[in-house]
Structure 1
Amino acid sequence: MSVKIGISTGLEGERKITLSQDNVDAVVQAGGLPFLLPNLWDASCIPEMARELDGLLLTGGGDIDPTLFGEEPHPKLGTITPRRDFFEYHLIRLFLEQNKPVLAICRGCQILNVAAGGDMYQDIGAQHKQKILQHTQLAPRAHASHYVQIEQNSLLFSIIGKERIKVNSFHHQAIRRPAPGFEVSGWASDGVIEAFESKCHRFILGIQWHPECMAVQGVQDALKLFRAFVHAASQAC
């Protein structure tokens, strides 16, 4: 039976659906059947989507509306997409309720945390306590630019099998306080949270880097993430 993976999409100018092909290719490489999800204002359609899909890949993109976690906009907040925030917020909550696998990448990691009850930095350069690394790298997208330390007793470690990996990085926002029931499983050397996961679900994993760019280039650590995700989703078929 095909493993149906819903893939979140971006919006350009509120009218044009956008998505990097790498997200689709990485899911297919891992054995999943990709379904691109449009961002809907109509919440009545979202429960059927959640029922039909076996797993959810939350992709990268722009900034998140800070009013969703009780804050007003910081001067360094970038462009937000309210329609995408609304859709993903409601879809995530249904996936959590149904205990279906979620792999959340970059922005996806952040909106997952917000939907589950956590919060985030609107801009790590302005708000993080420590001096930070270059988290918006100027290197090519598939190039690994900094290290992540992985917690041994974690889902992420069980997938990767290493305490330290090198990742790519394209973000200026990040998780600040993990949602209840979630634990941090990866950090950058500057203390920025790079991975977190649910301790109450089978497979809910958020990562701050972009493994899809590396998976399509054959990087094994990135491929392992997608294979583990699709395998977990296959248990929901």
Structure 2
Amino acid sequence: MVSNGSDRPIIGISTYVETARWGVWHREAALLPTSYVQAVHRGGGVPVLLPVLPDGPDLSAVDAVVLAGGPDVDPAGYGQPPHHELGPVRPERDAWEVRLLRAALDRDLPVLGVCRGAQVMNVAFGGTLHQHLPELVEHRRHQPEPAVFGSTRVALRAGSRIAAVLGEEVVVPCYHHQAIAEVAAELDVVGRADDGTVEAVELPGRRFAIGVQWHPEEDTVDDRLFAALAAAAREGRGEHRT
């Protein structure tokens, strides 16, 4: 068994593939906002970054997985042409995160999908996305303007795994112009915004497999979701580690 010298579970977080600048360098990088790292640590886990790789993921050293937010999911992955408001896509990251999700579920690792991560979960199981949500809901409160988070009130279904953690209503930070449209048959919708937007899904029959359309890592006051992920990872770490 791999050990980190404490009871903190090791939680892998998927990363962006972007061109970035630091020091004298301006080149392609595997990167991640530190808000994810800090949220996982505050929640009781040890964060490690999972960069996009060309082959299958090896998750033998991690206890849980976070599918992080990021660019729009390529609509080719769910059989639709691109909308004129579609932003930049990263097909290689889409494919990697689908493999990452399936590998985590094969090992029964806890999974938390954040924003794009929830959308990837839906697409991976055959669902589709609204490519430009403002056309459907006729407002931009989910993404008020570039680099500005909105605020959304979400009603969570009584008896769901996430409601057991957060209660049946929560106000959350959000930043997205896409959202789940046709829900994959394997997923249950357990949370919606006031305008009907799907905000939370769960995969039944798993200890912890939750996707949320909002950004819990941006809420530095409420770490309950990451704490619940770490607790689920801690409970199961002896079952899947080799």
Counterpart in the other structure of 2:232: 232
CA contact (8 A) 2:144 2:150 kept: no
Within 5 Å, which residues of 2 pair with 1:73-222?
A: 73-126=82-135, 128=136, 130-138=137-145, 145-161=151-167, 163-214=168-219, 217=220, 219-220=221-222
* TM-score, normalization by structure 1: 0.88
Using the aligned pairs only, state the percent identity: 38
Q: State the alpha-carbon separation in 2 of the partners of residues 34 and 160 from structure 1.
A: 22
**Aligned 1:18-97 pairs, distance under 5 A:** 18-43=31-56, 46=57, 48=58, 50-97=59-106
Amino acid at match of 1:112: M
Measure the CA separation in 1 of the matches of 2:140 and 2:196.
10
Question: Deviation per CA, 1:158-206, whole angstroms, max 9, x where unpaired?
Answer: 0012x22111110001111222221111111111101111112111000
TM-superposition CA deviations, 1:123-159 (whole Å, max 9, x none): 1123x3x434511035986x76221111112111100
Q: TM-score, structure 2 length as denominator?
A: 0.86
Answering whether residue 24 of structure 2 is matched by residue 17 of structure 1, we say no
Which whole-Å deviations, capped at 9, do the CAs of 1:66-109 have from their partners, x for residues lacking one?
Answer: 11111121111110012211211111111122221001111111
How far is 1:112 from its partner? 1.4
2:17/2:93 contact within 8 Å kept: yes
Q: Distance in 2 between matches of 1:203 and 1:85?
A: 22
Task: Please report how far the alpha carbon of residue 117 of structure 1 lies from its aligned counterpart in structure 2 after TM superposition.
Answer: 2.3
Aligned-residue offset at 1:3: 0.8
Q: Hey, what does 1:5 align to over in structure 2?
A: 11
Q: Residues 140, 118 of structure 1: CA spacing in aligned structure 2 closer, same or farther, 3 A cutoff?
A: closer
Measure, in 2, the Cα distance between the counterparts of 1:89 and 1:140.
26
Paired with 1:171 and 1:82, the residues of 2 have a C-alpha distance of: 18
**CA separation in 2, counterparts of 1:109 and 1:209?**
9
The alpha-carbon distance between structure 1 residues 70 and 55, as it changes in their structure 2 partners (threshold 3 A), is: same
**How many angstroms apart in 2 are the aligned matches of 1:10 and 1:51?**
22
Distance 1:96 1:51, change over 3 A: same
Q: Which amino acid aligns with 2:138?
A: K
Instruction: Compute the RMSD of aligned alpha carbons.
Output: 1.9
Q: Is the 8 A contact 1:144 1:166 kept in 2?
A: no
Q: Could you tell me which runs of 5 or more consecutive residues in structure 1 were left unpaired when the two chains were aligned.
A: none
Do the aligned partners of 1:159 and 1:225 also contact (CA within 8 Å) in 2? yes
- Structure 2 vs 1, CA of residues 87 and 183 (structure 1 numbering), >3 Å: closer, same or farther? same
| Structure 2 spans left out of the alignment, 5+ residues | 1-6, 20-26, 238-242
CA deviation after TM superposition for structure 1 residue 63, in Å: 0.5
TM-fit CA distance, 1:62:
0.5
Which has the larger helix fraction?
1
